[in-house]
Chains A and B, each alone.
Chain A
Amino acid sequence: MKTQNNRAWFFVLPVLLLVAFNALIPMMTVVNYSVQETFGDNLFFWEGLTWFEQILRSERFHAALGRQFLFTGLILAIEVPLGIIIALSMPRKGFWVPVCLVTMALPMLIPWNVVGAMWNIFTLPDIGLLGYFMNNTLGIEYNMTRSPLAAWITIITMDVWHWTSLVVLLTYAGLVSIPDAYYQAAKIDGASSWSVFRYIQLPKLKQVLTIAILLRFMDSFNIYTEPFVLTGGGPGNSTTLLSIDLVKIALGQFDLGPAAAMSLIYFAITLLVSWLFYTLMTKDDAK
C-alpha cells in the first residue's frame, strides 16, 4: 500500500494566500475599525457596537439606502424587460448577428469613469449635445446641477445605456440555445407568439435571467464611479447613493469607525438580497 500523507494540501496554499490578502485580511481590518474609535496616531479605543447602532438609527443612512433601492429598482425594471425585447428582436443568423453583438457590447467596454465623463459633457446645458438641444432647441429646462429630477433621469438613462447590453447578451445566448424543435412543436400546436414567449422562451430563459438580474442587482447596488463623476451625488444629496455616502464618511470626514460599520451593513444587505433572490428563483429546480 502507498504511504498516505497530506502533502498535497500544500497545493492549496497559493490560493489560500491569494484569498487571504485580497479578501480576508482587508475584510477583517474593516471589522476591526468598525468596533473602535481612532483619533489618529494609531491610537484605538474600544467602542463595541456603538457605530452599528448609530448607523442603523441615522436618517442620513436611511435616506441613502432608500435612494439606493430606488435606483436599483428603477434600472432593473427598465433594463430587464428592455433587454429581453431587444434580444427577441435581434436576428438569429446572417450578416447582422455579429454587427448587433458588437454594437451591443461596445458600451460595456468603456471604463466607468469615462462613461460618467461622457454623459456629464453630453448633458451640459451650454455646450453638451443633449443639454444644448433640450434647453435651447426644444426649450425644455434641463439642468442636472439644479434639478434633482433631471439628475435622476440622467443617471438612470446612463445606466440603461451602459448595462442593458449585459441583459441583451445573456438573454440572446439563452434564446439561441433553445432547440428548433420547440418552435416547430409550438407552430404545429397552433400557439400564438405570446404563448411561445410565455410557455417556451420565458421558462427556458429563467436561468440566464436569474444570472442577469443578480449581476445587475449587485453591480447597480454597489455603483459608485458613474454617478460620482456625473453628479457627485448632487444636487444637494439627491443622487447620493450608498457608496457615495460611504466614501464621504470614510474619506471626506475621516470617520473610520462609522464608515467601517456602514460598509459591513452595506455588504450584509447586498449579500442578503442576492441570496434571497437566488434561493427563490432556484427553489423549483431542486424538486
Chain B
Amino acid sequence: MAKVTLRNLRHSYMPNPKSPEDYALKEIDIDWADGGAYALLGPSGCGKSTLLNIISGLLIPSEGQVLFDEQDVTQLVPDKRNIAQVFQFPVIYDTMTVRENLSFPLKNRGVDPATIAKRVGEIAEMLEVTDQLDRRASGLAPDSKQKISMGRGLVRDDVNVVMFDEPLTVIDPHLKWKLRSKLKELHQRIRRTMIYVTHDQTEALTFADQVVVMQDGEVVQMGTPVELFERPAHTFVGHFIGSPGMNVLPCDMRDGGAFVAGQNIQLEGPVTGNGQGLRQIGVRPEYVTLGDGGLPATVRKVSDLGRHAVVEAVLGDTRVNAIIEGATPQQGETVGLHFKPQQTRLYTDGWISTEAGS
C-alpha cells in the first residue's frame, strides 16, 4: 500500500515536443492518499490511459516524477513497482486452472506454497469463485474471467496500488452492477490504493471517493462525486457529469450583473476575474424550474423518464433542459424558466468565475 504522488508530470509521444498541443499529458500534479479509491474520468483520448500506463511503469513520462510513498519510481519497470493492473479485456492464462491463475503472481515471486494456498483461498472466497477453483480458466464467462484478473492483482499483499483500466467494458450490463459493488466491497475490505480509469460517469461516481476529471491531457477538476455534481469547476465537467448535462447559456455582462435575453440572472455569489473572455451561465437541469415570468422559452420536447421528466426548451437559439416532477407542459407551449440562484454560476472561457455564495 502506498501514497501515490504525481509531480509535474508531462508526456508526449513525439520525440521533440514543442507546443503544448504536442503533449498527450499536460502538467499533472496529483496526490493520492494511501488506501483511497480514485477514479480517472474522461472521454476517449483525454490521456487517462497514458496516465495509467505511466503509473504502472509501462510508459516512462517525458517529464516529471511518479512517487510511491515519497520514493521516486519514475524509471522503474512494472514488476519492480509492486503494482497490479486489471485491463479492459480479461487477461487470463488459458491453459491454467483458476487456482493456478490466482497463484501465478505469487509463484513467480517465490512465495512458499502454504502461504500461496492461504492467500488464494481468501481471495477466491472474497470473489466468490471458490467452487470454480479447479476449472480451466478458458471456459469461464467474461465476468468470471474479469474477476480472476482482478484476483491476480489482489492476491499479493505487497501491492502498492491496484489499477483498473475500464474493466467493465466487456461485461454484460446486468452484471456490471454486481461487479461494481463487488469492487467497492473489496476496496473496503482490503483498503488498498485503487485507481479506476473509465469514461463512464456512473462507474466513476459509484466507485471512487475522489474523481479526477480529465480533458485533452489536462486535469479539469478533482473532487468528490458530490462536488463534481454540485459545483463543476469547468463547463466540461458540467457537460460530462450528469444526465442530461449542465445547461450552458451565453450571457452579457453589464453593471456587474449577468444578463440572458435581457433579463438579469441572479448568481451564487460575486463575479471574479477581470471581465475578459467568453462569459457563460451554467445551471444544472435539476435546478431549472418552470413557472410564470422568468425567461420565456418554447418547449421543444418532453421526455418522460418515469419518476421525472426532462423538458427541452429553446431560449433564443440555446437549448435548455429542465428536470421536473409532476405536471409537464405541452410541446410548443411557452414557459418561463427560473434558475435556482445558489446553483447558478458564471463561467469565463469555460472556467468557473463566481465565488461560492454563503
Contact = CB atoms under 8 A, between A and B. Distances in A.
A182 B108 contact: no
Nearest to B90: A181
Contacts of A184: 56, 58, 78, 85, 87
A185 B149 contact: yes
B91 A185 contact: yes
Contacts of B77: 187
A188 B104 CA distance: 11
A181 B89 contact: yes
Interface in A152-190: 179, 181-182, 184-185, 187-190
A181 B108 CA distance: 18
A16 to B, nearest CB: 41
Contacts, number: 53
A188 B96 contact: no
B56 A199 contact: no
Contact of A287 (B83, B84, B95, B139): B139
A188 B93 contact: no
A191 B87 contact: no
Contacts of A250: none
Contact of B105 (A189, A199, A203, A287): A189
Contacts of B83: 188
Contact of A199 (B58, B93, B153): B93
B89 A179 contact: yes
B79 A190 contact: yes
Contact of A181 (B84, B87, B93): B87
A200 B85 contact: no
Q: Max chain A CB contacts within 10 Å: which of B78, B109, B136? A: B78
B221 interface: no
Interface residues of B, number: 25
B138 to A, nearest CB: 8
B73 to A, nearest CB: 14
Contact of B108 (A179, A189, A203, A204): A189
B22 to A, nearest CB: 22
Interface string B70-85: 0000000111000111
A188 B85 contact: yes
A192 B107 CA distance: 11
B171 to A, nearest CB: 16
Interface of B: 56, 58, 77-79, 83-85, 87-89, 91, 93-96, 104-105, 108-109, 136, 139, 149, 152-153
Contacts of B79: 187-190
Nearest to B139: A287
A204 B93 CA distance: 10
A190 B94 contact: no
Contacts of B85: 184-185, 188
- By secondary structure, the A interface counts as helix
A195 B77 CA distance: 18
A280 to B, nearest CB: 16
Contact of A185 (B87, B94, B96): B87
Contacts of A179: 89
Given A181-B89, A287-B139, A188 B95 contact: no
A203 B109 contact: no
A188 B87 CA distance: 12
Which has the most chain A C-beta neighbours within 10 Å: B77, B87, B109, B152?
B87
Given A185-B87, A189-B152, A200-B93, A195 B58 contact: no
Given A184-B78, A184-B85, A192 B91 contact: no
A200 B58 CA distance: 18
Nearest to A192: B108
A182 B108 CA distance: 16
B203 to A, nearest CB: 19
B326 to A, nearest CB: 49
Given A199-B96, A203-B94, A287-B139, A189 B104 contact: yes
A203 B93 CA distance: 9
B91 A181 contact: yes
B108 A187 contact: no
Contacts of A188: 56, 78-79, 83-85, 105, 153
B77 to A, nearest CB: 7
29 contacts: A179-B89, A181-B89, A182-B91, A184-B56, A184-B78, A184-B85, A184-B87, A187-B58, A187-B79, A188-B78, A188-B79, A188-B84, A188-B85, A188-B153, A189-B79, A189-B104, A189-B105, A189-B108, A189-B152, A190-B79, A190-B105, A190-B109, A192-B108, A199-B94, A199-B95, A199-B104, A203-B95, A204-B94, A287-B136
B159 to A, nearest CB: 10
B78 to A, nearest CB: 5
B123 to A, nearest CB: 14
Interface in A172-231: 179, 181-182, 184-185, 187-192, 195, 199-200, 203-204
Contacts of B136: 287
Interface string A65-89: 0000000000000000000000000
